[in-house]
Amino acid sequence: MGTVVHVEGVRRWWQELAGLVLPAECGGCGSARTVLCPQCRAALSGAVPFRVRPVPEPPGLPAVHAAARYADEVRAALLAHKERGALALARPLGAALAGAVRAGVGEVGWGEGEGPQPPGDLLLVPVPSTRAAVRARGHDPARRIALAAAGELRRAGVSARVAAVLRQRRAVADQSGLDSRQRLDNLVGALTVVPGGARVLCGGPVVLVDDVVTTGASLAEAARAVRAVRVAGAAERAGQGESGRCGEEAKGALCGEGATAGYVGITREDSRQLSGTEERGVDGVSVRPLDDVGGAGDVLCAAVVAASPDSFEINRN
């Protein structure tokens, strides 16, 4: 086992070095001696990020913005980064994702106005790959791109950091070949927040991020996992007479040290109900609407590098 781990570590180290130091060809079109040529960079980040809506739209999906269409050079670059270990592409892909994040938070009005800034950093929460996929690829693509995007945002003056708090809690089938309903059924209940991750989510409002959106099932499931923690934390604090503030004194599922931040028995039908705008109760406890803007741990929106061309065209008509 030790030898296997050592060989895998060497492979990842060489992959990092080769990808960063020796870019052989453009990840989009194959032009020699460049990470991403000017034409492919323009296809990736040259347009204004746009709101996209998968059809049918899964329940609980936050507003999603994408930087580009998932086609041609953009598709090739994303696959080169994800499947072929072209790790130097993380920076231009991250820059595109940062643009989509800015578009999303701008639409909901986060950070705008002359008053004090909302508390906490903007948290980019990536949708995780399965453990098997991470082992096979040698990296988690969405997490790597999210880290690059957070760096771009900080350089632009936005206080942002990555909160990689989501994990797969059960095995899921390969999504390729599944329709939108099958993808939703395949993923419901598949994600959870890691122990201690709930306290991290107290650090600021959340933007869910991924490399690509197709049906929106993965982002909807990620939103459900984050919101479940918020609901559980709100109920816990209300039961203890807390003010709802995420301080060190607030114990329980949302902010407690070592708390197991998982699901609270929410089904897919519950997620349809909890994605509304009116107040609802959990075990008789009134909680804030799940899509309110500005509070710590809120899911403001979602952002991706690319979306299917159909979802772009639907919004342009």
Top-confidence range, 110-114, 118-122, 168-172: 118-122
Mean pLDDT value across residues 249-273: 32
Mean pLDDT of 59-65: 94
Band of residue 190 on the pLDDT scale cut at 50, 70, 90: confident
Those residues whose C-beta lies under 8 Å from the C-beta of residue 213, and which sit 6 or more positions away, are 52, 54, 64, 66, 219, 302, 304, 306, 307, 308, 311
Q: Model confidence at 266, in pLDDT bands (50, 70, 90)?
A: very low
Q: Which of 101-110, 144-153, 185-194 has the lowest mean pLDDT?
A: 185-194
DSSP state of 213: E
Q: What is the dihedral of CA 223, 201, 128, 86, to 10 degrees?
A: 120
Pairing of strands 166-168, 191-193: antiparallel
Give the Cα separation of 283 and 176 in Å (integer). Answer: 38
Helix H, strand E, coil C: the string for 179-212 is CHHHHHHHHCCCEEECCCHHHHHCCCCEEEEEEE
pTM score, two decimals? 0.74
What mean pLDDT do residues 94-108 have? 96
Q: Would you tell me how many other CB atoms lie within 10 Å of the CB of residue 16? A: 15
Confidence of residue 128 (pLDDT cuts 50, 70, 90): very high
How far apart are alpha carbons 66 and 94 in whole angstroms? 12
Going by C-beta distance under 8 Å and a sequence separation of 6 or more, which residues neighbour residue 105?
Answer: 111, 122, 207, 300, 301
Whole-number Å distance between alpha carbons of 278 and 292: 10
* Confidence category of residue 129, pLDDT binned at 50, 70, 90: confident
What SS3 class is residue 187?
A: helix
